Chains A and B, each alone.
Chain A
Amino acid sequence: MSGRRNTSSPEAPHGFRRGLVLFPRTFGPGVIAFVAMVVVALVGATAASAYWPASGTGSTTAAVATLAPPTNVTVPATSASNVPVSWTESMGTPASAGYYVTRVTGATSMLACGSGPAALIAGTGCTDTSVPEGTHQYVVTAVHLSWTASSIASGNVTVDNRDTINFIVQPGASVTAGSPVQSVTVELRTALGLKLLLAGAEVSIGIGNNPAGGSLSGTLTATTNIWGEATFAGLSLNKADTGYTLIASRPGYSGGVSTPFTVTAAAATQLMVTGPAWGTASATATFGPFTVQRQDAYGNPVTTGSTDVALASNSTGAKVFALTTGGATVASVTIPAGASSASFYYGDTKAGSASLIFNATGLSAAPKPVTVSAASAASLVFSPTLITAEKNKAISPAVLVMAADAFGNPAEAAVTIHSSSNCKNLKGNETPAIAVGGTATFSALMFNGKASACILTATFALLSADSNTFEVP
């Protein structure tokens, strides 16, 4: 035994060393193992006590206001061609910006008092002039920005006037948008229904029933000849729909209303594409739906013929089109005969602005601008890749953590940094840094004391990234 330490030997001397010999004999393996277990358990417990991600939801409701309609719309029971209309203003919040008035005759209605959605009446009354003979009601509509609120209809007013206007040549049953309506002629009549031979009287013409909000173009006034007749040639309407009427008027005369006619769409000249302005980066076509519509020069949808529309994008990323969300890739979409539009979806892996480009034979199409935003952060990377530190000094250059989505686009993330357990004196990481434009900047990281073999770990949601191992001298 000479030359050997015999601390754990039964042959060791009495006293302290002997005690050391008895220690493992009495408690030895169990105590050591117990201590080890406690250490391991504590280490485990420390890890488990770190926060965990969680989620939860809640809900509430928001109330939307109501625009109050005007009330008490009043007209006389009988009237000559000028009908006075009055009403009580819309009350409450939001306040009305003004009103427009509609004259209702049977199943048709037309704007009255020279008012309209874009020509509001500020007050609470107006006079409807050159009203056709017959029985009418009036509805007043309050307007607040994109909201409207219509009154209940007034009582009946029966218009009976001495002089009237009568259509003697009616418009054709159908006309193409933008093309001249067949010339129409009106005559002046007396109270007995006889032709009024009055030359040089100016008569105006306008749209009576206006189902599509179209505009009437051409010469809208004409002068009567010696037979008391006025002819309107070259009139045209721009919006396709059925049930249009024309109304001829002259102060002091009850207006004349034409028979109804239809305006049809002209030949297709353009494509109009509508859809969302932005979407998320994706390798599949999930951005949409977009609708490409075949239109004439006046914006009327055109249903005749079949049109193939080639789809393209000027994005430098990987881009795809599909007919359904996430569907098979296509290079074109077809607008079939009988329909005016078709839909598609778009996918693009490159975040940023792009233009969708459309090409169809004989049709013009404006590019559709879209913005693709980065998908959720999928990776974190430290920059610089080699961090160096010195105790009590802010780490320089500042530590940056780059967040990117699955396609490499800079992504938003609230990045948190902590140091390895052997380097607990890190400061300047109390709050997470928001990765603006994909870069989270930690400019005040500092170790208060020396440390060795340190590693910084950046985390966001379930993502994490480790820095290089570095010393803090």
Chain B
Amino acid sequence: MSKVAGRKKRIIITTAAMLVIGGGAAFAYWSAIGTDDNAATAGSTAGFTVVSAAPSSGTLSPGGPVLEYTYTVTNPGTGVQNLTEVKATVAGTDGTAWSVTGCSATDFTVVSPAITATQLDAGESFEGAVTVQMINKNENQDGCQGKTIPLHFVAR
């Protein structure tokens, strides 16, 4: 009787120990993936890549044409990543405010249509478009003539 109980106890203890080890291993795996993805959020190699193309023709002018700029967001990582928003602004490549003498981001309207949240598999891409138009202000906007305006895209 006591022999049987001892064996049971050993089995239970051993099982519990292995469960802990096994669980620990499983947790470590989960945790490793999370860390990687957190790094992706901070802009590591697993962050989205965004490539945009200017329209083949047309230029901006006060109250002028609404130009469409297409973009492609790609998940370069190895896991599924959720894409909920792609937003474009007139800003420098680092997202800082852009302006030159007599012209700034306030001279333009950028419309980034809402997208349906999408889970992108590894290597998968999402395509969309934003529109840009120059506002006709009630003040001189000569400073914008002939300028090259930076468009900054953020995908998240």
Contact = CB atoms under 8 A, between A and B. Distances in A.
Q: Do chains A and B stick together as partners? A: yes
Interface of A: 8-10, 24, 28-30, 32-34, 36-38, 40-41, 43-45, 47-67, 93-94, 144-149, 414, 416, 431-432, 434, 460-461
Contact of B47 (A43, A45, A55): A55
B97 interface: no
Interface in B1-27: 4, 7-8, 10-11, 14-15, 17-19, 21-23, 25-27
B15 A32 contact: yes
Given A51-B81, A54-B46, A64 B25 contact: no
B29 A66 contact: no
B22 A55 contact: no
28 contacts: A9-B4, A10-B4, A33-B14, A33-B18, A40-B23, A40-B26, A41-B22, A44-B27, A47-B30, A48-B34, A53-B41, A54-B37, A54-B77, A56-B154, A59-B150, A62-B132, A64-B134, A64-B145, A65-B59, A65-B64, A67-B145, A145-B136, A146-B141, A147-B62, A147-B145, A149-B142, A149-B145, A461-B84
A348 B4 CA distance: 73
Q: In the complex, which range does the number of interface residues on chain B fall in? A: 35 or more
Nearest to B67: A62
B41 to A, nearest CB: 6
A148 B102 CA distance: 13
Contacts of A30: 14, 18
A149 to B, nearest CB: 8
Contacts of B112: none
Given A33-B18, A66-B145, A56 B11 contact: no
Contact of B151 (A41, A52, A60, A146): A60
Interface in B111-125: 114, 116-117, 119
Contact of A52 (B15, B82, B134, B138): B82
B89 to A, nearest CB: 10
Interface of B: 4, 7-8, 10-11, 14-15, 17-19, 21-23, 25-27, 29-30, 33-34, 37-38, 40-41, 43, 46-54, 59-64, 67, 69, 71, 73, 75, 77, 79-85, 90, 93, 95, 103, 108, 114, 116-117, 119, 132, 134, 136-142, 144-156
Given A34-B18, A51-B119, A65-B64, A56 B47 contact: yes
Contacts of B116: 414, 431-432
A66 B62 CA distance: 10
Given A62-B60, A145-B61, 6 more contacts: A37-B23, A40-B23, A41-B25, A41-B29, A145-B136, A414-B117
Contact of A56 (B10, B37, B50, B59): B50
B71 A58 contact: yes
Given A43-B26, A54-B46, A147-B145, A60 B53 contact: yes
Contacts of A432: 84, 116-117
A58 B40 CA distance: 15
Quick one: which of A30, A48, A66 has the most chain B CB within 10 A? Answer: A48
A146 B82 contact: no
A282 to B, nearest CB: 18
A453 to B, nearest CB: 23
A55 B14 contact: no
A45 B140 contact: no
Contacts of A9: 4
A64 B30 contact: no
Ranked 10 nearest A-B pairs via Cβ: A37-B22, A33-B18, A58-B50, A56-B48, A52-B37, A44-B26, A29-B14, A65-B59, A60-B52, A55-B156
Contacts of B18: 29-30, 32-34, 36-37
Contacts of B153: 57-60
B137 to A, nearest CB: 5
Contacts of A148: 140, 142
A416 B84 CA distance: 10
Given A44-B27, A45-B30, A58 B49 contact: yes
